[in-house]
Amino acid sequence: MEVLLVEDDEDHAELVRRNLLGQATRCNITHVNNGEAALDYLYQRAEYANPDSCPRPDLILLDLRLPRVDGMTVLADISRPLTSRPSRWWCSPVPPLIQMFPRPTSATPTPTS
């Protein structure tokens, strides 16, 4: 299974990587650390232009708070109708996507019951 991990925190990425690699299903994990790189990978631009070394992911793990381009923008971009996407490579429905939310901090309000 090809997994695209989009996470800017290296410690979080390592935790996800360890968990995925510990599963019975064989995973090939590509890690990018910002939303711009995620879009470049998905649309095969820049350093990700070679489809042989940058296969289409079966699963995307997407952090929402990312540098350069945030996760919500990545999600909106790849969720556009197929006809408005810029690449023929990315011409089928979006693979399953899991949004990763940052853990609340003391400065982040939490819901009360």
Tens digits of residue pLDDT in 24-42? 889 999 999 999 999 999 9
Domain count within the chain? 1
Do 95 and 60 contact (CB within 8 A), yes or no? yes
Residue 96 lies in a domain: yes
The domain that holds 59 is classified in CATH as 3.40.50.2300
Residue 113 lies in a domain: no
Give the pLDDT band of residue 81 (cuts 50, 70, 90): low
Residue 112 lies in a domain: no
Number of Cβ within 10 Å of residue 110's Cβ equals 7
Q: Which domain holds residue 48?
A: 2-100
Residue 29 lies in a domain: yes
Whose tokens are 């940052």? That residue is 102
Residue 75 lies in a domain: yes
Give the pLDDT band of residue 113 (cuts 50, 70, 90): very low
pLDDT, mean over the chain: 81
Residue 108 lies in a domain: no
Give the pLDDT band of residue 66 (cuts 50, 70, 90): very high
